[in-house]
C-alpha cells in the first residue's frame, strides 16, 4: 500500500504517523522522500488495513492499493482453476457447460417441452425463473414456489440439473432441491443475501451488476467464499453504458480478465447482454472464443407469448442452430460440451 | 404507445395483429401508413400493456412508449407536491429539512455528541447507519440492533427524528421506532424489500442506484406506493460514470427533473456523491440552488477515526459553516429550514 | 416520425400545426387522438425534417424518429455488402483482412523489420502512425512526413498496402501514396476533416469515438459518403465506461449491430480496446467469432522500448501465435485471410 | 511515481532496472521490499518520464503516478487565480461574467436584436456560432465567414465582446477580430488545433469533451499553455452517461474540482448540459452556487424557428428572469456580474 503525504507537511507529523502505522502487528513502513513528494510504502499483511480510514488523515493526500482486496477468489493464492461440481456435471478447469431455458417458468407443458428440446440440442443444465425481478410492479412477478415445483418436474423428466434465481434470503428453504442458485445482477451487492449463501454449500451463479466493476464482482464472490462456500460461478451479462442500440454493453473483456485474476469458472449470458434474439448467436460465439467456461441462453417455445423477456429468447430450433456453431467453435481448441 | 411495423410486412398480418390488439378492453388502434413505414398508434389505458411482449412479435420493428410507466408517482395525475410528515417535521411542498449524522453509529458517546452538535447548527433530523453495506466482507459491518438502540438514545436526548438504512426485509421489526427508513443505493431495485416497505406506513427515503435512470427510480417509488405507502422521499446521491476524480458523478439535473415528473419530495446527499469532505459544501449549495427539498450530510466528531466513510465526513465545526451558507442561500427565495 | 402533443393543447393549435407541417412537399400527417394523448404521425421523406426544431414548438411534448437518420450508410437502401478494394486487397462481403504494425513509425529498421515479420505471419496490410494524437503535449508526437516516407519504404520492400492516421485536413497532401487513411477515435466527429475525406476517393478507416454511439458512427460515415466517397471501413476499438480494469470496454456487440444496420465492412482493434498485450488474443478471437471483416493489431519488435503504446503491443512471435488461432477460427466458417 | 514489480522477479533484474532508471538525470529511486511485493519509488522531476513505456517492461506489474501530469495548468505551481482579460472584461479571480446569445448566427436582424436584449439583462459577452459542428451532414452547417461578420456587426452596435467556435485551424484567419475563440466539446482533443491556439494570444474557451475526464481537460489546456498562450477559460458542459432524461449529465462537481486543481477560470454551459430550456435556470443557479466564474447561456428571439438547438434556448424574456435570479445568488457572497 502506498501512502502519498500532502506537500509541505511538517516532518514531525510524518514521523508520528509512521509510529502509529507500525503499531499494527505485521506491518512495516518505508519512507521515500522526493523533491515535491513524500511517500510511505506500507508492506506486510495489508488485507485488514482500512484504506478509507487512512485517507481521512489530514496529512494524507492519497492512498493507492498495490494488492487486490480479495483473497479467497484470488488466483495468486489459488493458481489452479476451481472446478464446480453440479451433481456430476463439472464446470471450469476445461469443462464447458450450457445452461438454457425460459426466462420465466410459466406452466408444466412449457417448461417440460423446452427442457426436452434443449437437452436434445446438447444443453447440460436447465434454467427457469420462479421469482422474477421486474422494474414495474405491474409486470408478471413469477410463479414463485409453484415455479420451483415445475422446474423439479422438468428435472425429473429430463435429468437436467436446474438453475433458478433467489431474490431474498427468506426464500432459500424453497431452493433446497435446486442445483444452482442464481444471484441476479440487481442483487450482486445485496450483502445480506451473499452472507446467507456463504453458509450453504450449493453452487452459486453470481451475475455481474449493471454498474459493477470486475473488482467489485470478485469482492461479492469473496463475501460468499468468506462464509465457507467456494462453489461460485461468475457470470458476465452486460454492463450499463451510454450506448442504446443494445440493452446493455456485453463486456467480453471481463471473461479473460476474470479468468486471469481469479480461479473461479466464468460463464456468459448473451441473452441479457444484448437483449435481442438475433444478437445471441454472435455474442455467444464471442464469449466462447474469449475463453468462457460456459453459456447461459434463454430459450422459449413461443417467444411472442412469453410472459417476460420474449424479445431476447431463441426458439428451440434457433437454439439448435446456435448450439451447432458453439460445438464447432469449441472443437477448434479440442473442447466439447460437458 | 407507438408500434412500428417491419418494412414489407404483408397487409393481412398487420390486420390480424390489429384485431388481436383491439381484443384488450379499453384499447383502440390507429393505423398510419407511410411510404416506407407502417405505424400503429395504440391509445387508451396502456398501463397494463406489456411493451416487451409486443416487441417479440415478428412483424414488429420497435415499440415506443408515449406515456410514463408509473402512475402513483406521476405528477400528471397528482399535480400538487406531496408533503411527507415525520412526527411533525414536514418535507416537500416548500418545507426544507437537513438530515445529518455519522455514516455509522459507533458508540453512545459518539452518536449523542454528534446529534447535539448538528441540532445546534440547525439540523432537523439525525442519520446514522446500524446496518452497513460494505464492498468488502472484511470491513466493519455496523452495530446492527445495538446501533438502532443508540440512535433511539440520541433521539431521546435531542428530540431529533432518526433515519437509518434497512438492508433486508427480515430486519424490519428492529426499525419499529425509527422515523424514516432508508433504502440504500444498492437496494434501489431490491424489489422484495420494496414490496415489504409498501405494506407499512412509515416514511421511506429511497436512494438512487449507481446505475439507475431517473425513470427506474420512479418505478421503484411506484413499487412502494403500489403497496399503499405514499410517504416516499427521493434521494439523488451520484451515479457511476467514467470520471474518477470524484467517487460518483453528482447528477444535479436529477433534482429538477424528478420534481417535474413527480410530486414526491427530493433530497440530495452531497457526501456520498462526491466522496470527499471538501466537495460537500459546493455540492450541497448546488443542490439547494437547483431546488432540492432537503439535504443529507455526513458529520463525524473525529473523521480520522471513523469506522466508515471518514474521508467524506465533515467535523461538527465544518458542518456549522456549511449550514450558515445553506441558510443564506435558502433566504434568497424566502425559504428557511423546517 | 412521431410527434407527441402536450396534454390539454387546444384543438385549434393542433390543426394549425398540422397545416404548417403539410406545407413541406412530400410530407403527410396522420392524427391519432387518445384519451390522454394526441399524436401526429409524419410520413413521407422525413430525412430533411429537423427533429430538434420540431421539439421547440411549445405544443410539442416529444418527437420520436422512426427511420434511421442515415441513408448512404444504411443497409435498408443498399442490401448488399460493400467490398472496399485496396489495390487489389478486398475487405467486406466475405473478404477478411489483417492490418498490423507498430503504433508509431520510429525508424526505417523498425518499420521494415516489423513489416517483414507480420507479412510472414499472414498480415495483409501494414499500419504505422506518423502523426500521433497524444494526451500530453510532452509525449512523442510522431515523425510526421518522415514517418510517411518510412512507411512507403516498408511498402516497397514488402508489398503490403499501408494504413496511417490523419489528424488534420491540411496534412492530406502528405497522404497521397498512403493506401488507407485512418480517422482516429478523437476525430470521429471532426466534421471538417470528414467533409474533406468525402472529396477524395481513397478508402477511409473510421474509428469509433470513445463516447460515440453506433448511430453517431454511422452518421460520421454518412458525412464521408455524402461527399461522394463510399470507401468507408468502420472500426470498433472500445468505448469509455466506468470499468477501469481495461483501458476501454470493447463493445463486441457493435460488430453484429453495425453489420445489420449498414453494408460497410467492419473491423476491430483489440489492441486499443483492451490496452494490454495479453488481452489482444481473446479480444481478437471474440471479434472474429462475432463476425468482423478484419482486425487491426499492434505489433512491435521491442515493445519495452516503443515510443508509444508499447504496453498493448505484441512481439512478432506473439503475433504469429495469435494469427494461427485467427486462421483456425476463420476456418470453422470456411473463411480465410485475403 | 510508484513502480510495482511483478511477484517472484529475480533480484538481479530489479537491480538492473534500477540502474537503468537512475541514468536519467534528476531522477532518484527508492526500493521498498515487502513480503509479497517489491516497489520502486521514483522521485525527482518525473514530468518527462513516459509512464506507458515503463509499463511495457516485463518485470513491471503496474505504475502509479503520484504527481499530476500537467504543469502550466496546475494550481500547485501557480497558487493564484488566473484572471483572463477580454478587452477590459475580466473573468476569474472573483470576476464573474455571463456570455449569452444564439446557438447559430442566422441573420443581422436576429443577432443584433438578441445582442441588444441580452445586454439589457446584464450579459457581458455575446456568443454566436458561425461554424456549426452537426451530427448530420444534412443539417444547417452555419453561415461561416458571413456569420463572423454579423457577430462583428452586433459587437459594433452593442459593445459586447464576441465568442465564437472554431472548427479547424485553417479558419483561424477569419477569427482575427473575434474576442474569445471557443473550442467545442468534439474538438477538446483535436491536438493539432490546440497547438495552433497555443501560438496566438487570444483568450480560448475550452469546452469539456463528452467522454473526457477532468484530468484530460487539464491536459488539453496544457497543450494550449505549453505553446505560450495562458489565456484559457475552462467550460463544463455535461458528460455522456447512461441517463437519457437529459441530453448530457451536467457534472457540477467538475467546477470545484477544476478550481482546486487549476488556477484557470471555470464557466458552465447549462444550455448544452441539459438540452432542454426549462433546465437552464436550475443548472445555471447550481453552477453559480458551486463556485463557477461565469455562465454561457443560449438565447434566441424565436426558439421555435431557430436553425439549431432551439429546444434548449431561452427567449430574451426568460433569460431576463434567469439573470435576476443569478444576480440574487451572486449577492449572497457579495459577488456581482462584471
On the question of pLDDT at B54 being above 70, the answer is yes
CB-based contact B116:B158 (threshold 8 Å): yes
Cα–Cα distance for residue pair C241/B242, rounded to 1 Å: 5
Burial class (CB in 10 A: 0-12, 13-18, 19+), C293: buried
Calculate mean pLDDT across residues A314-320. 97
pLDDT of residue D35: 67
Q: Which residues of B touch A168 (CB under 8 A)?
A: 168-169, 192-193
> Does D77 map to a domain?
no
| Same domain (yes/no): D102, D132 | yes
Q: Please tell me the distance in Å from A170's CA to the nearest CA on chain C.
A: 33
**Assigned C-alpha cell, C224:** 464521408
On the question of pLDDT at B326 being above 70, the answer is yes
For chain A, give the number of residues. Answer: 338
pLDDT of residue A337: 97
Element (H, E) at C100: strand C97-101
| Same domain (yes/no): D174, D284 | yes
Q: Does A330 touch chain C (CB under 8 A)?
A: no
Measured between CB atoms, which of C2, C33, C244 is closest to B64?
A: C2
User: Please, how many CA atoms are within 13 Å of residue D68, restricted to the half-sphere of its CB?
Assistant: 22
Q: How many CB atoms lie within 10 A of CB D77?
A: 12
Name the more confident of D194 and D67.
D194
Cα–Cα distances in angstroms (integers) from residue C54 to residues A111, A143, B65, D318, in the given order: 49, 46, 19, 20
pLDDT in tens, A185-218: 999 999 999 999 999 999 999 999 999 999 999 9
Is C219 within 8 Å of D303 when comparing Cβ atoms?
no
| Same domain (yes/no): B211, B128 | yes
**Assigned C-alpha cell, C57:** 414548438
Q: Please tell me the distance in Å from D164's CA to the nearest CA on chain B.
A: 27
**D305 by DSSP, 3-state: which?**
helix
pLDDT of residue C270: 98
pLDDT in tens, D268-284: 999 999 999 999 999 99
**pLDDT confidence tier of residue C53, bands split at 50, 70 and 90:** confident
Measured between CB atoms, which of B34, B43, B241 is closest to C44?
A: B34
Domain hosting C246: range is 84-332
**What's B1's DSSP letter?**
-
User: Please, how many CA atoms are within 13 Å of residue B5, restricted to the half-sphere of its CB?
Assistant: 26
DSSP strand pairing (C27-33 vs B294-298) = unpaired
Cα–Cα distance for residue pair B187/B322, rounded to 1 Å: 30
**pLDDT confidence tier of residue C294, bands split at 50, 70 and 90:** very high
Chain mean pLDDT for chain A: 93
Tell me which long-range contacts C40-43 makes (C-beta under 8 A, separation of at least 24).
C40/C2, C40/C3, C40/C5, C40/C14, C41/B32, C41/B34, C41/B39, C41/B41, C41/C1, C41/C2, C41/C3, C42/C1, C42/C2, C42/C3, C43/B32, C43/B33, C43/B34, C43/B35, C43/B37, C43/B39, C43/C1
**Assigned C-alpha cell, B177:** 421506532
> Rounded to the nearest 5°, which phi and psi values hold at D244?
-110, 0
Chain mean pLDDT for chain B: 93
Q: Which residues of C touch B34 (CB under 8 A)?
A: 28, 41, 43-44
Q: Which residues of C touch A274 (CB under 8 A)?
A: 253
On the question of pLDDT at B158 being above 80, the answer is yes
> Does C117 map to a domain?
yes
Is C249 within 8 Å of A244 when comparing Cβ atoms?
no
D residues 94-113 closer than 8 Å to C (CB): none
**D249 by DSSP, 3-state: which?**
strand
On the question of pLDDT at A292 being above 70, the answer is yes
Q: Which residues of B touch C62 (CB under 8 A)?
A: 66
Q: Does C83 touch chain A (CB under 8 A)?
A: no
Is D2 within 8 Å of A44 when comparing Cβ atoms?
no
CB-based contact C312:C104 (threshold 8 Å): no
**D25 by DSSP, 3-state: which?**
coil
B residues 14-33 closer than 8 Å to A (CB): none
CB-based contact D91:D294 (threshold 8 Å): yes
Is D304 within 8 Å of C209 when comparing Cβ atoms?
no
CB-based contact A315:A127 (threshold 8 Å): no
| Same domain (yes/no): C195, C255 | yes
On the question of pLDDT at C35 being above 70, the answer is no
CB-based contact B334:B308 (threshold 8 Å): no
Name the more confident of A271 and B135.
A271
pLDDT in tens, D174-202: 999 999 999 999 999 999 999 999 999 99
pLDDT of residue D45: 73
pLDDT of residue B35: 67
Cα–Cα distance for residue pair B2/D122, rounded to 1 Å: 45
**Assigned C-alpha cell, D19:** 540502474
pLDDT in tens, B115-134: 999 999 999 999 999 999 98
For chain B, give the number of residues. Answer: 338
Cα–Cα distance for residue pair B164/B203, rounded to 1 Å: 11
pLDDT of residue A35: 67
Name the more confident of D39 and C327.
C327
> Does C225 map to a domain?
yes
Which chains border A (3 or more CB–CB pairs < 8 Å)? B, C, D
Q: Does B330 touch chain D (CB under 8 A)?
A: no
| Same domain (yes/no): C39, C124 | no
> Does A100 map to a domain?
yes
Cα–Cα distance for residue pair A254/C283, rounded to 1 Å: 10
Calculate mean pLDDT across residues A147-171. 97
CB-based contact D238:D283 (threshold 8 Å): no
> Does B135 map to a domain?
yes
> Does A242 map to a domain?
yes
Q: Does B53 touch chain A (CB under 8 A)?
A: yes
pLDDT of residue A203: 98
Residues sharing a CB contact under 8 Å with residue A60, sequence separation 6 or more, in sequence order: A3, A4, A5, A6, A54
| Same domain (yes/no): D102, D33 | no
Calculate mean pLDDT across residues A91-112. 97
Calculate mean pLDDT across residues D208-218. 97
Cα–Cα distances in angstroms (integers) from residue D209 to residues A316, C186, D37, D92, in the given order: 46, 10, 38, 22
CB-based contact A279:A287 (threshold 8 Å): no
pLDDT of residue C307: 78
Nearest residue on chain A to C216, alpha-carbon basis = A243
**Mutating which of C191, C224, C225, C272 best tests the D interface, going by the most D Cβ atoms within 10 A?**
C191
Q: Please tell me the distance in Å from A197's CA to the nearest CA on chain B.
A: 13
| Placement of cell 518522415 in the chain | C146
Cα–Cα distance for residue pair A164/A183, rounded to 1 Å: 9
pLDDT of residue C44: 77
> Does C338 map to a domain?
no
Supply the angle between the helices C316-332 and A316-332 in degrees, to the nearest 10. Answer: 140
CB-based contact B293:B267 (threshold 8 Å): yes
| Same domain (yes/no): D263, D190 | yes
Q: Please tell me the distance in Å from B305's CA to the nearest CA on chain D.
A: 25
Cα–Cα distance for residue pair A222/A207, rounded to 1 Å: 14
Last residue of a domain, one of A31, A64, A97: A64
On the question of pLDDT at D305 being above 90, the answer is no
Is B190 within 8 Å of A191 when comparing Cβ atoms?
no
DSSP strand pairing (D294-298 vs D97-101) = parallel
Q: What CATH number has the domain bearing residue D303?
A: 3.20.20.70
On the question of pLDDT at A41 being above 70, the answer is yes
| Same domain (yes/no): D7, D137 | no
D residues 116-135 closer than 8 Å to C (CB): 131, 133-135
The torsion angle over the Cα atoms of residues A50, A55, A59 and A61, rounded to 10 degrees, is 130
Chain-centroid distance of CA C280 in Å reads 19
CB-based contact A113:A75 (threshold 8 Å): no
CB-based contact D150:D105 (threshold 8 Å): yes
pLDDT of residue C106: 94
Mean pLDDT is highest, among B174-178, B304-308, C21-25, D31-35, for B174-178
Nearest residue on chain B to C241, alpha-carbon basis = B242
Closest CA to D327 of D100, D119, D123, D116: D123
**pLDDT confidence tier of residue C243, bands split at 50, 70 and 90:** very high
**pLDDT confidence tier of residue B305, bands split at 50, 70 and 90:** confident
Torsion sign (Cα): C31, C32, C33, C37:
negative
pLDDT of residue A225: 97
pLDDT of residue A46: 76
Burial class (CB in 10 A: 0-12, 13-18, 19+), D73: buried
**pLDDT confidence tier of residue B275, bands split at 50, 70 and 90:** very high
Is A39 within 8 Å of D66 when comparing Cβ atoms?
yes
| Same domain (yes/no): C169, C309 | yes
Please tell me the total count of domains within chain C: 2
Chain mean pLDDT for chain C: 93
pLDDT of residue A311: 84
**A4 by DSSP, 3-state: which?**
strand
| Same domain (yes/no): C88, C130 | yes
One-character DSSP codes across D83-140: -EEETTEEEBTTBBEEEEE-SB---HHHHHHHHHHHHHHT--EEE-BSS---SSTTS-
Measured between CB atoms, which of A191, A223, A310 is closest to B167?
A: A191
| Same domain (yes/no): C21, C125 | no
On the question of pLDDT at B44 being above 80, the answer is no
Q: Please tell me the distance in Å from B251's CA to the nearest CA on chain D.
A: 6
**B196 by DSSP, 3-state: which?**
helix
pLDDT in tens, C152-186: 999 999 999 999 999 999 999 999 999 999 999 99
Supply the angle between the helices D316-332 and B316-332 in degrees, to the nearest 10. Answer: 140
Nearest residue on chain A to B193, alpha-carbon basis = A168
CB-based contact B91:B128 (threshold 8 Å): no
Residues C332, C333, C337: CA angle, nearest 5 degrees:
90
pLDDT of residue C7: 81
Q: What is the ipTM of this complex?
A: 0.93
Q: Does D141 touch chain B (CB under 8 A)?
A: no
Q: What CATH number has the domain bearing residue B32?
A: 3.30.70.1140
C residues 270-289 closer than 8 Å to A (CB): 273-274, 278-279, 282-283, 285-289
On the question of pLDDT at C114 being above 80, the answer is yes
Residue B31: strand pairing partners: B40
Cα–Cα distance for residue pair A145/A171, rounded to 1 Å: 9
Is B67 within 8 Å of C39 when comparing Cβ atoms?
no
> Does B109 map to a domain?
yes
On the question of pLDDT at D46 being above 80, the answer is no
| Same domain (yes/no): B267, B124 | yes
pLDDT in tens, A122-136: 999 999 999 999 888
Beta strands in chain B (DSSP E): 2-5, 27-33, 38-44, 60-64, 84-86, 89-91, 97-101, 125-127, 162-166, 180-183, 204-207, 232-236, 266-268, 294-298
Residues sharing a CB contact under 8 Å with residue D53, sequence separation 6 or more, in sequence order: C304, C305, C306, C307, C310
- Give the rounded percent of residues in chain A with a pLDDT score beyond 70: 99
Amino acid at each position: 500500500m502506498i501512502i502519498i503525504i500532502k506537500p509541505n507537511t511538517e516532518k514531525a507529523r510524518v514521523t508520528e504517523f509512521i509510529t502509529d502505522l507500525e503499531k499494527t502487528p505485521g506491518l512495516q513502513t518505508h519512507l521515500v522522500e522526493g523533491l515535491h513528494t513524500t511517500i510511505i510504502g506500507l508492506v506486510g499483511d495489508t488485507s485488514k488495513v482500512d484504506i478509507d480510514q487512512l485517507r481521512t488523515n489530514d496529512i494524507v493526500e492519497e492512498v493507492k492499493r498495490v494488492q487486490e482486496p480479495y483473497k479467497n477468489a484470488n488466483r495468486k493464492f489459488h493458481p489452479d482453476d476451481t472446478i464446480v461440481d453440479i451433481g456430476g456435471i463439472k464446470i471450469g478447469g476445461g469443462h464447458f457447460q450450457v445452461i438454457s431455458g425460459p426466462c420465466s417458468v410459466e406452466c408444466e407443458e412449457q417448461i417440460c417441452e423446452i427442457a426436452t428440446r434443449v437437452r436434445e440440442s446438447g444443453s447440460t443444465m436447465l434454467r427457469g425463473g420462479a421469482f422474477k425481478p421486474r422494474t414495474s410492479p405491474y409486470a408478471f412477478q413469477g410463479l414463485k414456489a409453484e415455479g420451483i415445483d415445475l422446474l423439479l418436474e422438468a428435472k425429473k423428466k429430463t435429468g437436467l440439473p436446474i438453475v433458478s434465481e433467489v431474490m431474498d434470503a427468506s426464500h432459500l428453504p424453497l431452493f433446497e432441491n435446486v442445483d444452482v442458485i442464481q444471484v441476479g445482477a440487481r442483487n450482486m451487492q445485496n450483502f445480506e443475501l451473499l452472507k446467507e449463501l456463504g453458509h450453504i454449500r450449493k453452487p452459486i451463479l453470481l451475475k455481474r451488476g449493471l454498474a459493477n466493476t470486475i473488482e467489485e464482482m470478485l469482492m461479492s464472490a469473496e463475501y460468499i467464499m468468506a462464509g465457507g462456500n467456494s462453489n461460485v460461478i461468475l457470470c458476465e451479462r452486460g454492463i450499463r453504458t451510454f450506448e442504446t442500440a443494445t440493452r446493455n454493453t456485453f463486456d467480453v473483456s471481463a471473461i479473460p480478465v476474470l479468468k486471469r485474476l481469479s480461479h473461479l469458472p466464468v460463464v456468459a449470458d448473451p441473452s441479457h447482454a444484448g437483449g435481442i434474439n438475433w444478437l445471441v448467436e454472435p455474442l455467444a460465439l464471442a464469449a466462447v472464443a474469449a475463453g468462457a467456461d460456459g453459456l447461459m441462453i434463454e430459450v422459449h417455445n413461443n417467444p411472442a407469448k412469453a410472459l417476460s423477456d420474449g424479445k431476447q429468447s431463441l426458439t428451440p430450433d434457433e437454439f439448435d442452430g446456435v448450439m451447432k456453431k458453439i460445438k464447432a467453435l469449441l472443437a477448434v481448441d479440442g473442447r466439447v460440451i460437458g
